[in-house]
Amino acid sequence: MTDMHDLTAVQLVERYASGELSPVEATRAVLHRIEQIQPEVNAFTRVDAEGALRQAEESAERWRRGAPVGLVDGVPVSVKDILLQRGAPTLRGSRTVRPEAGAWDEDAPSVARLREHGAVFVGKTTTPEFGWKGVTDSPVHGVTGNPYDPQRTAGGSSGGSAAAVALGAGPLSLGTDGGGSVRIPAAFCGIFALKPTYGRVPLYPASAFGTLAHVGPMTRDAADAALLMDVISGPDWRDWSQLGPAGGGFREALTSGGGGVDGLRIAYSPALGGSAVVDPEVAASVRRAVDLLAELGAVVEEIDPGFEDPVEAFHTLWFSGAARVVQPLGQEDWELLDPGLREICAQGASYSALDYLAAVDVRMALGHAMGRFHSAYDLLVTPALPITAFEAGVEVPKGSEHTRWTGWTPFTYPFNLTQQPAASVPCGLSVAGLPIGVQLVGARHADALVLRAAHALFEAGLADGVRPPAA
């Protein structure tokens, strides 16, 4: 008998429709699960049990009448504490954001779509301050631990969402990704996450990190992510850069044309041209995922996209964005910031407009190169990360030659620069029992194809056995 908190969103909706399960029962199970996991991993900044149960009771009444209002009516969801949620302070992991300073009466577009579809909001999840780094710890909420070993990092910046989903504290969570922030914690925590094509999920307020920042689903599998994408990709006039209609449902795309990956042209790059040093256990797990794609009928070729590491251009754009975030702060608030954030903000403030535009030139050239690459290959497959989760509470692994989080995330941030859809799929565990992720990257607008390929891997059993010990 599967525990209620282990059910996916797809399974919950099926049971609501059959009358086998009530949204109130499911919500109570998730809230109980949050009570169990929160002291150990610190995934949530705020839990609204009373509000969630009220929403669940309203949903249960709709299901009793046979009149659900949307695709996820009654499904428990969490929201990264970067995105606005009506009635809940959005502190963004910072002591410089005062709860009493705002009305907190507006939903971000993705949150608004979930509300329209009847979702049950159980809480807000942890983030590093302003989402600035690839691990999750902040001055105001502390450190978020990994579901497989709480002494290790959950990754970031959507680490709270990843830990929550992995441990059954709600099957759906909204994360944000400006340089890997849904894919990094997904890989470290053994769940699925998609960074959609930029603009596919509307975003408001606009991010200070500009068009690097995406909103994406964090779920246990690709089927749940497709369901969530059908909800949150709805239009919102507040985002002037949103894309037009997707041209079809994401759930239907999982099985379109018979589904699967048969005949897809897949490029496999073990290390993006050798610029990344990949742990042998990670490399072996990713290789098994690639072999499975070939067994499922894909035409796989080992080849690199052929671009140089764009990390300096990314830093220029990212650090400038961080500097813009904190620009309004006075000296007293500046002293409250995460010391690492202060460092990158100082560096970002030193760049000139010409430095910024030179980074934009690098970005455009990279986008052009990847557009050409995808004219020959449907998907690019890489490791999601070159390592498994390391000690919690630090930006880089101890003894590392790197000084910033981008040093150990070489496979994620390039595809924020190019705005391509990219997903992390769990593909095994290390000898130490830590999750490993494989990354699937598609051409811009090929979100449905990325989801379809990921779904095929889940259906073929790639992620079987990737479950936290405490789950």
Q: Note if 275 is an active site residue.
A: no
Counting Cα atoms < 13 Å in the Cβ hemisphere of 259 gives 16
DSSP letter (8 states) at residue 308: -
Closest C-alpha to 8, from 136, 139, 173: 173
Q: Note if 195 is an active site residue.
A: no
* CA–CA dist 91, 78 (Å, integer): 15
Tell me, rounded to whole angstroms, the distance of Cα 214 from its chain centroid: 9
* CA–CA dist 170, 409 (Å, integer): 27
For tokens 């504290």, the residue is 169
* CA–CA dist 144, 425 (Å, integer): 21
Catalytic-labelled residue, pool 22, 59, 78, 80: 80
Q: Are strands 149-153 and 172-177 parallel, antiparallel or unpaired?
A: unpaired
Neighbours of 362 (CB within 10 A): 18
DSSP letter (8 states) at residue 49: H
Amino acid identity at 412: T
User: Is there a contact between 78 and 120 (Cβ–Cβ < 8 Å)?
Assistant: no
User: Is there a contact between 436 and 428 (Cβ–Cβ < 8 Å)?
Assistant: yes
Closest C-alpha to 302, from 283, 318, 282, 279: 283
Could you tell me how many residues make up the chain? 471
Consecutive H or E run containing 268: strand 265-268
Q: How distant, in Å, are the alpha carbons of 43, 245, 385, 414 from that of 187?
A: 16, 29, 7, 17
Catalytic-labelled residue, pool 22, 181, 207, 430: 181
Neighbours of 32 (CB within 10 A): 15
Catalytic-labelled residue, pool 59, 110, 157, 424: 157
Structure tokens at 457: 């891997």
DSSP letter (8 states) at residue 391: B
Handedness of CA 468, 469, 470, 471 (dihedral sign): positive
Give me Rg for the CA atoms of the chain. Answer: 21
Q: Note if 157 is an active site residue.
A: yes
- The residues annotated with a catalytic role in the active site are 80, 157, 181
